[in-house]
Amino acid sequence: MADIVYAFGASHGPLLSTPPHEWDLRANVDRKNPELAYRDGTYTFAELAALRKADGFEKQNTLEVKTERWNRCQAQLDELSRRTLAQDIDALVIVGDDQHEWFFPDTQPTFAIYHGKEVYNRALSEKEKEEIIGRGGAYSMKVYFPPQDEVYPTPVNLCEAMIARAMDEGFDVTACATQPQDGGVPRKLGHAYGFIYRRILNSKPIPLVPILINTFFPPNQPTPKRCFEFGRSLGRAIAAWEPGKRVAVAASGGVSHFVVDEDFDHRILNAMLKNDWATICREPQIMFRSGTSETKNWIVMAGIIAETKLKMELLDYVPCYRSEAGTGSGMAFATWQ
């Protein structure tokens, strides 16, 4: 038996790398978004601002409040980094979502597991940097992508065991034996994985297993219940890995964004604190749209946790607002030990 010894959940997002005095860069992107997803509706920015007027978000949008939120988030990211790097582990399983980074609309797997020998996080080309800067991501790209190419090892036999177990247990997973390429150049490592490698692990080459969930793109996103059950299968595969091996698990992304919904975030996080898996699995599919869909990465991880006796510690939940319509990100940071 291998041991799952530690897990953590970390939100990611532009507000964790963009200094608070520049959060308007992101609010301006929201203002042009005609499809802001909030609960079961879809709104323009003006419609959403009118709908949520009573919430008084102008009080949340002062530089003072934004700076306080930023400092809390950075402190918890530093703490997650410290706790994670202190673990003596043989492998880290990262549950993330692919947002047209490795997979595109021609083929979008619901669940994919990478089982190649290594993961390549290459430095961006000048053209890619220009594109990201054009989308307001000048600050963010440094957190996800290294200045020089980095290569991280993969525990191939663990990846293969997870694939075999999933297939045995009724999950027809996509197996990814090589990093997808364009003209011989590997595609960029997904932001969900790059964030963990760069911001939490400080590029320390701990062997990792990327689990790629299609949380984002219709029509084949898995339901919360399916995510949870898939996680349980992964948990059983990890436990059956080589005796003496120590494994950690991470969920990257979530909770609500790019419209903050504190009720949703508290509902999910409180259920996780109580191991109340039924409440999580009952959450309607429509609640998981846009960035909020990444909360399903936490639900897959919850399934893995359900196969262990680890206990959750919620380090902080920080609602980071950036506009009068309540856009921004709900940031959650937690460990299981």
Interface contacts to Fe ion, rule CB under 5 A: 253
- Contacts of residue 28, defined as CB under 8 A and 6 or more positions apart, other chains included, come to 136
Nearer to Fe ion, 253 or 326 (CB): 253
d(CA 179, CA 185): 10
Smallest gap from Cβ 23 to Fe ion, in A, equals 17
Run of H or E including 205: none
Rounded Cα–Cα distance for residues 1 and 4 (Å)? 10
Query: CA angle, 86 as apex, 84 and 90 as ends, to 5°?
Result: 75
Across 180-191, b (16+ Cβ under 10 Å) vs e yields eeeeeebbbbbb
Helix (H) or strand (E) run with residue 309 in it = none
Q: Closer to Fe ion at the Cβ: 165 or 191?
A: 191
Helices of type H across 93-223: 126-134, 140-144, 156-168, 191-195
Q: Phi and psi (nearest 5°) for 74? A: -65, -40
In the complex, least distance from residue 257 CB atom to Fe ion, rounded to whole angstroms: 8
Nearer to Fe ion, 158 or 320 (CB): 320
**Which of 13/235 has CB closer to Fe ion?**
13
Phi and psi at 125, nearest 5°, equal -75, 165
Minimum separation from the CB atom of position 56 to Fe ion (A): 28
CB of 252 to Fe ion, least distance (A): 7
Query: What's the closest the beta carbon of residue 210 comes to Fe ion, in angstroms?
Result: 14
Q: Which residue's structure tokens are 């979008």?
A: 108
User: Between residues 253 and 319, which has the closer beta carbon with respect to Fe ion?
Assistant: 253
Q: Are 143 and 195 in contact (CB under 8 A)?
A: yes
Q: What angle do CA 209, 213, 214 make, to 5 degrees?
A: 150
Nearest approach, Cβ of residue 60 and Fe ion (Å) = 22
Closest contact distance (angstroms) between CB of 155 and Fe ion is 24
User: In the complex with Fe ion, which residue's Cβ is closer, 5 or 259?
Assistant: 259
**Residue number, 194 or 253, with CB nearest to Fe ion:** 253
Name the minimum Å distance from CB 167 to Fe ion: 28
- In the complex, the smallest distance separating the C-beta of residue 198 from Fe ion, rounded to whole angstroms, is 14
Output the residue with the shortest Cβ distance to Fe ion.
253
β pairing state of 41-43 and 91-97: unpaired
Rg of the chain over CA atoms, in angstroms? 19
CB contact set of 231 (below 8 Å; sequence gap of 6+): 95, 299, 300, 301, 302, 303, 304, 305, 306
Q: Which is nearer to Fe ion, 155 or 253 (CB)?
A: 253
When the beta carbons of 17 and 233 are compared against Fe ion, the nearer one is: 17
Query: Which SS3 state, helix, strand or coil, does residue 332 take?
Result: strand
